[in-house]
Amino acid sequence: MPKNEGPGKGNVLKAVFLDRDGVINRNIDKGYVTEWRLFEFLPDSLEALAHIKKKGLLAVLITNQSCINRNLVPKENVDDIHKCMLAEIERAGGKLDAVYMCPHRPDEGCACRKPRAELLERAMRDFKLSPDEVLFVGDHERDRGAAEAAHCRYDQVSERRSLFEITKEWLD
């Protein structure tokens, strides 16, 4: 299999788009990461992000954060969490090239909330990527739905398969 093609998928990847909660950090049962002290990187996620950078691919965060419009946390707090997260990722040798975030509640009917594709499409436009150059890694069916709507490849983390295992499978 040629480098960067992924398992039988064809076409060289140029970017990995990633969901946040449940992919990079641990989900909070029936809650939200509302401050940095609640953010806990999942095992191997920092290594996965360093691996993506080492392979020369873009890494882009695509995340729903309805806690903002639910008035559970100000947007500035989420921005601060992301600044701390980015710093930790860089300390570990990785990099997120951009963060795309939807602050809307599901009932608001916005176009940017996954499973809609707007955030993925915006990121592809901004980085001049075609859908076949993107792998989106999520942990939920709404992530799969967004990938399908944006026509890019998709893979899913689970208790049995970490982000690092996925990146090794697709990028090595």
Active site residue 19: yes
Q: How far apart are CA 34 and CA 154, in angstroms?
A: 28
Contact between residue 144 and residue 120 where contact means Cβ atoms under 8 Å apart:
no
DSSP state letter for 42: P
Catalytic residue among 19, 139, 143, 155: 19
Q: For residue 58, give the amino acid letter.
A: L
Closest by Cα among 40, 15, 19, 37 to 127: 15
Cα 6 to the center of its chain, rounded Å = 18
- DSSP alpha helices (H): ranges in 75-138? 75-91, 118-126
Distance CA 41, CA 46 (A): 7
Distances (CA, A) of 125 to 8, 148, 156: 26, 17, 23
Q: Catalytic one among 21, 139, 143, 155? A: 21
Q: Which residues are catalytic?
A: 19, 21
